[in-house]
Amino acid sequence: MASLGVPTTIQMGKTIRKLAESEGDKSVEERINEVSRFYGIETELGHFLTTLGDSLEKDGASFSKESIEIAKKILPEGLSEEKITAMILQWKAHYDWNALRRLAIKIPIENENYIIDLYNIIDGSLVNNHGVQVQDAASGEPVFLYSHRLRAARNLLVLLSNLMIACAYHKTRIENPKDFEPYLEFIKTLGELMHREAIDLEVLEYGRRIFYMMSFSTISFNFDPIFMWFRFVLNSVLNKNPPYLGKRNVQVRLHHDLAVFAVVKGENSPPEVYPSEGFYLTNETLSRRINRVGDCGHLYRISKYYCVHGGTCIRECENCGKMMLVLGEWTEISKDLFSPPPFKTNLFERTPYSKEEEDAYNEGQYDAVQCTFCASMTYAYNSTMVMQTAYKGGHVSFLEEIQRDAKVSLSGAKHVILLGYQLPPDDVIWRSAIVAKQNHEDVYCSVVVGYEGEDRWIEGYELVQYVKKTKENIKKEKWADYGINAIDAAMTIFDPNNVRAYTGGIPQVWCSDGNLVDKDKIKDLLYPSKVFPEGVAAMRIKDWEKYKK
């Protein structure tokens, strides 16, 4: 998503470090404007962090009369001073800017794994219920941050990370909406290919996995929901004019399986726009039964979509532990795809879906979303985000279930595509999962990482030479721009003869001149002839014939 302005992990780390910087007399507003990552909410975010306490000389537990006046600017008009005070105390209980600044300053700004190390410090301590000792910026005396403050610091770190992603999306939506078009066309083409694939597989039993599972799955390490949302919306568009199969002339619909049961909060469009929007999430049990019985007037084809690190739109209910997707209005480029932060802004939109949510908004709880399962309220700090750190344990149960299913899906892959994913050394879980897969059979790997390289696929001896020459002529800190880190990782795990790389950028990998989506390039990206000489459908039909025998 870098071409849409969404910051990388490295960029997010640099932003947090500069925002926390203690040198000089720059106000928090000046630091926010300098980092240029909070498009459209610079003033409001400044008020929020000032209210939390921007001074490193205080522990953030108390606040002044001035804080109440500042908080009024980002809360509903007409709130009593008593309610404003209660809201400030609630903010401070869940978000500790003083603690996060101290932790952020502790790590050298030169560290390229900055944000990962910041999460490591916090998560490593929280796993053991320990605190962290830091140094007071003014006196130089040691200051001990207890575990409850680390939790509040992490909440704020997640919130700031989410806001950077959301603000980048809104900036592109408002200033450069055409940048979304190659992604939308790519996903539309994927859906058309899956409809075509259903026609080619018409001879199979519809209730079997070999038919209802699409020939690709997605394991997303991104925190943003943009790609997933486009898939939801465009599949619903394609489902309005589906192909029809079999003697009963039954239509084929495309849907998604997130590997866990989840409810979606969103869909502001009236039912007449598309009556079956609520069915864009499904699971294998439902798909198998509907396809086998055939009494619903349609067939399902599903694709797995694994949000293995959580995301900005995924919340865990603290009461029932269920997973919710908090999404937006039913349109391609939604204005409310991202939930509002805890404070008032003009950039974020959200329509209350219940009387309880409306009451919460009127009280200034703009991030409140009611759990569909148990009716408890969830907030921005309930967003699930698992960073690529050394400490992966202790996350919510549904993420564990998603990750297990994703590893099973990966174990059946004949072609692994690293689409913008560097396969970093610190992400031990997924490196080991791919290594375990490689031990079973020959697997082909396509690396689509970097944007400074050539606009073509490179493989074999030429790829080895490309890596060698780039390392000789380009500084190490720029290697990622040429895809070198990801190529090295892939060639370590896979047979180098089974690795190819495209380093000319995304979405260029599936576009021809002028950023026009090229269907043949998409086919070659997903189904290279070296792996699928006869196509996926022909391979599945042969497997089915062997099974029947």
**214, 187 in Cβ contact below 8 A?**
no
Residue bearing the bigger pLDDT, 175 or 388: 175
What was the pLDDT predicted at 157?
94
Backbone angles phi, psi at 370, to 5 degrees: -80, 135
**104, 20 in Cβ contact below 8 A?**
yes
What was the pLDDT predicted at 274?
44
What was the pLDDT predicted at 270?
46
- The Cα 310–Cα 306 span in angstroms is 9
Kindly state the DSSP code that residue 96 receives in the 8-state scheme: -
Cβ neighbourhood burial of 384 (10 Å; 0-12, 13-18, 19+): buried
DSSP for 221-252, written as a single string: --S--HHHHHHHHHHHHHTTS--EETTTTEEE
* Banded model confidence at residue 70, pLDDT cuts 50, 70, 90: very high
Q: What whole-number percentage of the chain has pLDDT above 70?
A: 91
- The Cα 466–Cα 486 span in angstroms is 13
pLDDT of 276-289, one tens digit each? 444 468 889 989 99
What was the pLDDT predicted at 280?
64
Backbone angles phi, psi at 20, to 5 degrees: -85, -10
What was the pLDDT predicted at 8?
87
Q: Where are the domains of the chain?
A: 2-175, 193-385, 415-531
Give the sign of the dihedral formed by CA 22, CA 28, CA 34, CA 37: positive
pTM above 0.85, yes or no: yes
- The Cα 222–Cα 262 span in angstroms is 19
- The Cα 545–Cα 549 span in angstroms is 6
* Banded model confidence at residue 350, pLDDT cuts 50, 70, 90: confident
What mean pLDDT is reported for the chain?
A: 87
